[in-house]
Amino acid sequence: MEFTAKAIAEFLNGEVVGNLEVKVNNVAKIEEAKAGTLAFLANPKYTKYIYTTEASIVLVNKDFEPEDKIPATLIKVENAYESFAKLLELAEQAKPVKQGISSLAFIEESAKIGAGVYIAPFVYIGENAVIEDNAKLFPHVFIDDNVVVKKNSTLNSGVKVYHECVIGENCIIHAGAIIGSDGFGFAPDENNVYRKIPQLGNVLIEDNVEVGSNTTIDRATMGSTFIKKGAKLDNLIQIGHNVQIGENTVMAAQAGIAGSTKIGKNCQFGGQSAAAPHIQIADGVQVVPQSGIPNTIKEEGSIVMGTPAFNIREFQKSFIVYKQLPDLYKRVKELENELKKLKGE
């Protein structure tokens, strides 16, 4: 599909600077774009490319003022990155919608299937499962007994959802994710042999959640592991049993949250960050990548760093000293030697 600069500007409430009728049929990075594509400029690090890009249209922020001639047509918007995301959503919605149930899928008779669903070959749907309207299940998805997948949710290839778990509306679960596997619960007996603690709860994922590839979310020992509405989990994340992830909290790849920890809303966890079990993290907390949180964080909106994690400014001050330790050690040794000489004299 082709769109003119004028049509795009009207959709985004933007202002065209250049040719109103120039057309694009694809999107591209500003540094790699070719004629007929649309790019965007949001990060100042990429400003140099706007003067050489071959893109036909570039989205820019309203306050952008060029320092040289720009060959592309510009569309000025409030937020170039956000507007570019809206265009990608529009392109995604324009794709053909898959519907229908493959004859190669196996669906238990007691399962309930809504209207407009897509169930691909080699999908299994267990007893008393509910697949609501317009849900999409791609090849090799496994839906266990009594699972509920609500309206408009998409489960990509190889997703496994264990018994009793619930996936809300408009969720996206990426390939290989596992929802509802047993929590890591074992208790040593008198012989120090570990006995498995039955995991009798489930996982409850609320609406508009996205779960990345090969992420695992463990079922609760009792009750539910909660992923609240709007949360976004990257690939390769481990969520332990009875954890609660708050609304609109985001986590980057390889984060790990130990059992029974409660995380507030609007938090941000960097890659390879981790939280200890049975702690609470306040709303709006930001965790720097590779940080480890051993204790409860009560201060809302705080930024923490390090292992053990603490206030980022204090950590940065400490790190300045840490980098100087070799020199400080050398000076201490020199002072000790001088002191020994003085005592000898």
CATH number at residue 53: 3.40.1390.10
Among candidate residues 270, 245, 241, the one with its CA nearest the CA of residue 258: 241
pLDDT for residue 91: 81
CB 178 within 8 A of CB 217: yes
* Active-site residue, from 163, 174, 241, 278: 241
Residues 211 and 328 in one domain: no
Strand pairing report for 216-218 and 238-239? parallel
User: What is the C-alpha separation between 282 and 180, in angstroms, rounded?
Assistant: 25
| Bond into 96 cis (ω within 30) | no
Last residue of a domain, one of 93, 113, 138: 93
Rounded distance, CA 6 to CA 12, Å?
A: 10
Confidence at residue 199, expressed as pLDDT on a 0 to 100 scale:
96
Which structural domain range is residue 159 located in? Answer: 100-314
Tell me the residue length of the chain. 345
* Shared domain check, 167 and 41: no
Q: How many domains does the chain have?
A: 3
Q: Are residues 77 and 117 in the same domain?
A: no
74 and 113 part of one domain: no
Strand 26-27 and strand 57-61: the pairing is unpaired
Are 289 and 160 in a shared domain?
yes
What is the structure's pLDDT at 320?
87
260 vs 99: CA distance, rounded Å: 39
Q: Could you give the C-alpha distances from 336 to 325, 329, 332, 333, in angstroms and in order?
A: 16, 11, 6, 5
231 shares a domain with 161: yes
Q: Are residues 104 and 82 in the same domain?
A: no
Q: Are residue 107 and residue 220 in the same domain, yes or no?
A: yes
User: Which residues does 253 contact at the CB level (< 8 Å), separation at least 6?
Assistant: 212, 234, 235, 236, 237, 271, 272
Is-catalytic flag, 241?
A: yes
Each of the 345 residues of the chain gets a pLDDT tens digit; together they read 789 999 999 999 999 999 999 999 999 999 999 999 999 999 999 999 999 999 999 999 999 999 999 999 999 999 999 999 999 888 887 778 889 999 999 999 999 999 999 999 999 999 999 999 999 999 999 999 999 999 999 999 999 999 999 999 999 999 999 999 999 999 999 999 999 999 999 999 999 999 999 999 999 999 999 999 999 999 999 999 999 999 999 999 999 999 999 999 999 999 999 999 999 999 999 999 999 999 999 999 999 999 999 899 888 888 888 888 899 889 999 898 888 888 876
Q: How many other CB atoms sit within 10 Å of the CB of residue 150? A: 21
Task: Write the CATH number for 144.
Answer: 2.160.10.10
Q: What is the pLDDT of residue 345?
A: 63
Token representation of residue 100:
């229908």
pLDDT for residue 95: 79
Residues 149 and 270 in one domain: yes
* pTM for this model (two decimals): 0.85
Domain boundary among 58, 93, 128: 93
User: Does one domain contain both 207 and 278?
Assistant: yes
Q: Identify whether residues 83 and 191 lie together within a single domain.
A: no
Domain end marker among 39, 71, 93: 93
Same domain, 153 and 30: no
